[in-house]
Chains A and B, each alone.
Chain A
Amino acid sequence: MRDLVIKIKKALQSIEEEKGEFRIKCLVAKDPSDMLWDLILSAEWFEDDLMKRLDYLSERILGDFDIDCMLHFSGIITYTVKSSHPLLDMLRVVQENNRIGKYSDLGQGYVIVDSHSELAQLIIPLNNSEILVPA
């Protein structure tokens, strides 16, 4: 799981250097019993063409995923900045809480937030966490 988070963080950092920041970047698991994560992304620079957007993100983020990473990974889900959904509202709050250091990582290098929400029970905010990204 830690390997999955490190790979995604590293890929997102590289994309942000090239394209600009993500407004939302969180891993979300609907069911804590299987720990299968969706990567939720939103950015101003997203292409309108969904398939082109997904082509780019899939190649950049999933390129070096192996079977161990895929066992815990479900898919990439993107939203334009114009999208509105309660899930996005919740992720914005979690990211802000993470930014101001409201959560502690309990030593694993990233934060897992239990939202108690049916939308997404577990959330890993990928903004400004304490995890070290290898150069």
Chain B
Amino acid sequence: MKPEEILGNIRQKYSDAVLLKQHGRYANLIYLSGYCVELSLKYAITNHMNWSRYKTEGKLKFLKVHDLELLVSLTGREVHIKKMSAWQEVNKWSELKRYDDSDGSMLSDAESMLLAVNKLVEELCEISL
């Protein structure tokens, strides 16, 4: 995937997430938001490595992952990103299966997630959503 394609994908998924919020579909919003962060990390890796596209072929097949922890470690900015409060929020949801403390996702969770995604995308991709 080329960087501009990744950015387009992020914008599209973020727009969809906002629509989901308007329709009260908070759990799906959070799932989609996590995907935005994943794409942002892949964009940052592509930039960091000076690649023309995000590569997952051959010996790089290990990059075909959804593991945010692994991806952030390859951006060259792990310490900075992981110190952000937005990262703590996204990290919480990536651990949803183990750490979820509510009966269901609520509006406040959704708003926090959207805010966190905004901050991380801005930091990793240098764009505003």
Contacts and interface: CB of A to CB of B under 8 A. Distances in A.
Interface of A: 30, 36, 38, 40, 50-51, 54-55, 57-59, 62-63, 65-67, 70-71, 73-79, 83-85, 87-88, 118-120
Contacts of A85: 99-101
A23 to B, nearest CB: 14
Given A77-B95, A85-B100, A120-B98, A51 B89 contact: yes
A118 B85 CA distance: 26
Contacts of B83: 58, 62-63, 65
Interface residues of B, number: 24
Contacts, number: 72
Contacts of A59: 85
Given A54-B88, A74-B91, A83-B101, 6 more contacts: A58-B88, A62-B83, A65-B82, A67-B78, A70-B78, A118-B98
